[in-house]
């Protein structure tokens, strides 16, 4: 796969959603502008197929479907809101290449803006299938905006860790994940800005570098120390940090609290860091489907029958 163009923008579509239950006008305007930029880039390329999806913010919002319909009309992009299971499957597809032949199971976490997805995966010689998943309506944006909660204080941070850990423990009881991890052969994998930021800090990168981070197997003790370092920086220190920056400073510690809960419920010696996610999963899916179509034998020609005269 060769990347010919790439574009990303932080739009905070779920801003204010927790309080109002709706996408705000400003958030929809930001997202709409970003989508128009994407549509303009795509219009300059010869395309066979486009996948465009929306996730938790639009699933939760009372006006989520309305926003998607309006965005489709304005941009021409075939946007659709995908269910939580499909979101987990796409994240899984993007990370399959990181599995080794010894990995009989994998636990993948994706800490997003509006939700956190946990995928419990069966590995089979580099292939993967989804055993189970859970989508928690707790993400870095929703937690950062929650009233009377501040992850910059030890009390607020611990509140989030306890809340998330309780929800994850219920999922663990269903699938006995902790027991499986103690037996061995289970890879812990993380994808999202939280875990890639922890990797950047643990590696003491002067600025964030995807090639240095993606696929990195990070010792969890180093990740835990990076978390403590980030917490000690405070808001202003996070704004100035080269692996964080002003746009993400308010969201890093809520993500770290979710990560800390995952570590509490499922202790592991290391975590595989994936700077990949839905976008790469969508590309992997499209390429696989294109390959399947290319191998499929052509259908026999159909001839219209004519009555004898």
CATH pick for 17-82 out of 3.40.50.720, 3.40.470.10, 3.30.420.40, 2.40.170.20:
3.30.420.40
Q: What is the sign, positive or negative, of the torsion defined by CA atoms of 211, 213, 214, 215?
A: positive
Q: Are 10 and 54 in contact (CB under 8 A)?
A: no
Helix, strand and coil in the chain, % to nearest 5:
50, 15, 35
Structure confidence at residue 226 (pLDDT): 97
Determine the Cα–Cα distance for residues 27 and 29; give it in Å rounded to an integer: 5
Q: What is the sign, positive or negative, of the torsion defined by CA atoms of 20, 25, 29, 35?
A: positive
**CATH code for the domain defined by 84-282:** 3.30.420.150
- Domain ranges across the chain: 17-82, 84-282
pLDDT (tens, 9 = 90+) of the chain, 309 residues, equals: 677 888 888 898 988 888 899 999 999 999 999 999 999 999 999 988 899 999 999 999 999 999 999 999 999 999 999 998 999 899 999 998 899 888 999 999 999 888 899 999 998 877 789 999 999 989 998 899 886 778 999 999 999 999 999 999 999 999 999 999 999 999 999 998 999 999 999 999 999 999 999 999 999 999 999 999 999 999 999 999 999 999 899 999 999 999 999 999 999 999 999 998 888 889 888 888 887 777 766 655 544 333 332
* 182: exposed, middle or buried (Cβ count in 10 Å: 0-12, 13-18, 19+): exposed
Predicted model pTM: 0.85
Structure confidence at residue 308 (pLDDT): 34
Of 121, 70, 74, 64, which Cα lies nearest the Cα of 96? 121
Topology agreement, domain 17-82 and domain 84-282: yes
Q: CA Rg, the chain, in Å? A: 21
Q: What is the sign, positive or negative, of the torsion defined by CA atoms of 192, 198, 203, 205?
A: positive
Structure confidence at residue 306 (pLDDT): 37
- What the block records as the tokens of 176 is 């006995």
């Amino acid at each position: 796969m060769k990347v010919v163009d790439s574009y990303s923008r932080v739009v905070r579509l779920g801003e204010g959603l927790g309080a109002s239950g709706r996408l705000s006008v400003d958030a929809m305007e930001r997202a709409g502008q970003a989508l128009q930029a994407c549509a303009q880039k795509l219009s300059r390329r010869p395309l066979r197929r486009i996948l465009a999806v929306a996730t938790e913010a639009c699933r939760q919002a009372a006006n989520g479907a309305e926003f998607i319909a309006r965005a489709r009309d304005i941009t021409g992009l075939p946007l659709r809101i995908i269910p939580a299971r499909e979101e987990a499957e796409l994240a899984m597809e993007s990370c399959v290449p990181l599995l080794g032949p010894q990995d009989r199971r994998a636990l993948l976490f994706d800490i997003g803006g509006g939700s956190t997805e946990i995928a419990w995966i069966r590995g089979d010689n580099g292939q993967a299938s989804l055993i189970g998943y859970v989508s928690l309506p707790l993400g870095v944006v929703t937690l950062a905006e929650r009233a009377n909660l501040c992850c910059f204080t030890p009390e607020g941070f611990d509140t989030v860790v306890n809340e998330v850990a309780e929800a994850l423990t219920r999922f663990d009881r269903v699938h006995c994940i902790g027991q499986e991890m103690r037996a061995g052969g289970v890879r812990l994998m993380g994808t999202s800005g939280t875990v890639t930021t922890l990797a950047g800090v643990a590696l003491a990168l002067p600025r964030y570098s995807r090639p240095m981070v993606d696929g990195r197997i990070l010792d969890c003790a180093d990740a835990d120390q990076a978390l403590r370092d980030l917490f000690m920086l405070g808001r202003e220190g996070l704004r100035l940090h080269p692996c964080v920056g002003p746009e993400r400073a308010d969201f890093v510690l809520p993500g770290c609290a979710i990560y800390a809960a995952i570590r509490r419920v499922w202790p592991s010696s290391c975590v595989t860091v994936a700077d990949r996610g839905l976008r790469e999963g969508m590309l992997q899916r499209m390429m696989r489907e294109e390959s399947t179509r290319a191998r499929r034998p052509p259908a026999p020609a159909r001839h219209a029958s004519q009555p004898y005269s």
